[in-house]
Amino acid sequence: MSEKIVLSSGSLGYELFDVETQEISLHKSRGTISYKGANVLIGDAVKLDERGFISEILPRKNVLSRPKLSNVDFIFVVISYKKPAFSSYLLDKFLTLINSSNIKAKILITKVDLASNEEFENFKSYMSYYEHIGYDVYYTGKNSTYDLLKIKDIISEKKVAFVGQTGVGKSTLLNQLCPDFNRKIDELYINSGRGRHTTKEVVLLPFNGGFLFDTPGFSQLELKDFKPIDLAAYFPGIKEYYGKCHFVDCLHLPNTKGCQIEKAILSNMISADSYKNYCKIYEEVKINDIWKKKL
């Protein structure tokens, strides 16, 4: 029997896509099946038994822990220029999480139509730092195609996930790429500080010989399983210096003797903004770690 890819999950079972016939069908799993401790994930390749039950999860190429999905070729971290306001802190945090899963990330800035020409030019030059440290940056917005065609080109025949804060326009972008997706989109609601998610579950959409993941946005992102000492190994721009400081247990905090990071900031190789984010996220990870040890 040919391989099937898990597109979505619901009360009736899993929607599976047959790679050979391109047909979609609904199947349940026989009992609880798992691979390396995780049950069926959207993106998994699975096998069916003779009665049509999912009986095996094939080895995964990778897994992203939040949102939970598997087997991506790369991930677009989606951040809006405005509404919600661009935050390099969130961007750095998300890139760190993806780097720790050993998945390639690209950056996608939405809603650039809300910037004046001058603001857009300034913003692009701010984002050139991220290009400099190895991330491709793409722009989209309403009323113009911006980088939409380039995006269409690089996602063809690939498995690509769009992840990011709620309301940044992930589902809108998927509809721009393919109106037939008919993804539900909504205004961003802020009720007592918490965003309301329009997309509720991870789904995989077949597209141009590949697949696209639409994912629910988050309102808060925690790096739960990180050790403070390891943060630098995954942090964008800083990871390249990991292990190069004078002391092997260097935490790269301000005024640390022999720290290469400080030197790199002085020579503009690491941005001061990103370093501020590193210090802030370091404190969060440290507090999380202390709580974990107490539990």
User: Binding-site residue total for Zn ion (CB under 5 A)?
Assistant: 5
Least CB distance from residue 40 to ligand GTP, whole Å? 22
Closest CA to 137 of 177, 179, 95, 185: 95
Within a 10 A sphere around the Cβ of 203, how many other Cβ atoms? 24
Distance CA 77, CA 217 (A): 11
Per CB under 6 A, contacts with ligand GTP among 105-124 are 110-111, 113-114
Rule CB under 5 A: choose which of 97, 173, 202, 250 binds Zn ion: 250
User: CA geometry: angle at 110 spanning 104 and 116, to 5°?
Assistant: 135
Selection from ligand GTP, Zn ion, Mg ion, none that 108 binds (CB < 5 to 8 A by kind) is none
Looking at residue 10, its amino acid is: G
Least CB distance from residue 173 to ligand GTP, whole Å? 7
Bridge-based pairing of strands 45-48 and 4-10 is antiparallel
Answer yes or no whether residue 84 interacts with ligand GTP by CB under 6 A.
Answer: no
Q: Is 212 left (phi over 0), alpha (psi -120 to 50) or beta?
A: beta
Per CB under 6 A, contacts with ligand GTP among 217-246 are 217
Distance CA 47, CA 207 (A): 22
Least CB distance from residue 216 to ligand GTP, whole Å? 5
3-state secondary structure of 260: helix
Least CB distance from residue 172 to Mg ion, whole Å? 8
- As given in the structure block, the two tokens for residue 89 are 């802190």
Residue ranges with strand state E in 81-147:
105-110, 137-139
Interface mask (CB under 6 A) for ligand GTP, residues 85-104, using x and -? --------------------
User: Binding-site residue total for Mg ion (CB under 5 A)?
Assistant: 4
Interface mask (CB under 6 A) for ligand GTP, residues 133-172, using x and -? -------xxx-----------------------xxxxxxx
Nearer to Zn ion, 231 or 245 (CB): 245
Closest CA to 216 of 272, 164, 275: 164
Give the binding site for Mg ion (CB under 5 A): 170-171, 198-199
Give the binding site for ligand GTP (CB under 6 A): 110-111, 113-114, 140-142, 166-172, 185-188, 197-199, 216-217
